[in-house]
Amino acid sequence: GKPVATIASPNLSGLTLFQMFSNPMRQPDFRYADNARDAVDMLLKGRVEAALIPTPIAIGYPSLNVVTTSKQLPHLAIAAAPTVPEDVRERIRTALLNASRTPEGRAVLDMLNTQGFEAATNATYRGYADLLKGTYGY
């Protein structure tokens, strides 16, 4: 198959590409990038024919042509260890959810190519572990 850049599984990009091409005889030649921006760089330099890139990253590259899209998946999850005090977790959560309201917060959001963060719960991610079934090491 033709070379396609993605991030190796268990990253969601790699897992999604394996789902799209579940038949090994029809799979592209996977070329693994360290991150989504590296995948874009491989594409722009002509080292691959296509790349699986999360939408929030892809919108930062208007010269890219979208061939297909996958089911929408959560992006940029941030979690705190249970050892982080509750008041600190809440301050961080509030700052992230309100980032678009301050110049400093907007600068961070611009750097991440996103308009803001959304509150999430364990239910938001329920079922995504199923993507790991059959993945080496899980």
Q: Is residue 132 part of a domain?
A: no
What per-residue confidence (pLDDT) applies to 45?
Answer: 97
**Candidate ranges 6-15, 36-45, 49-58, 70-79; pick with highest mean pLDDT:** 36-45
Residues 91-138: tens digit of each pLDDT: 999 999 999 999 999 999 988 778 899 998 888 888 877 777 766 655
**H-run or E-run covering 4:** strand 3-7
Please check whether residue 81 lies inside any domain of the structure: no
Same-domain pairing of 104 and 47: no
Same domain (yes/no): 94, 37: no
Domain count, the chain: 2
Measured CA to CA in angstroms, residue 52 lies from 81, 83, 89, 94, 138 at distances of 30, 35, 33, 32, 23
Other CB atoms within 10 A of residue 122 CB: 6
Q: Are residues 18 and 55 in the same domain?
A: yes
User: Are 41 and 62 part of one and the same domain?
Assistant: yes
- Same-domain pairing of 62 and 109: no
Which three-class secondary structure state does DSSP give residue 51?
strand
Percent of the chain with pLDDT over 70: 96
7 with 69, same domain? yes
Q: Is residue 67 part of a domain?
A: yes
pTM above 0.75, yes or no: no
74: left (phi over 0), alpha (psi -120 to 50) or beta: beta
Domain residues for 95?
A: 86-119
Is residue 102 in a domain? yes
Q: Flag whether 19 is in a domain.
A: yes
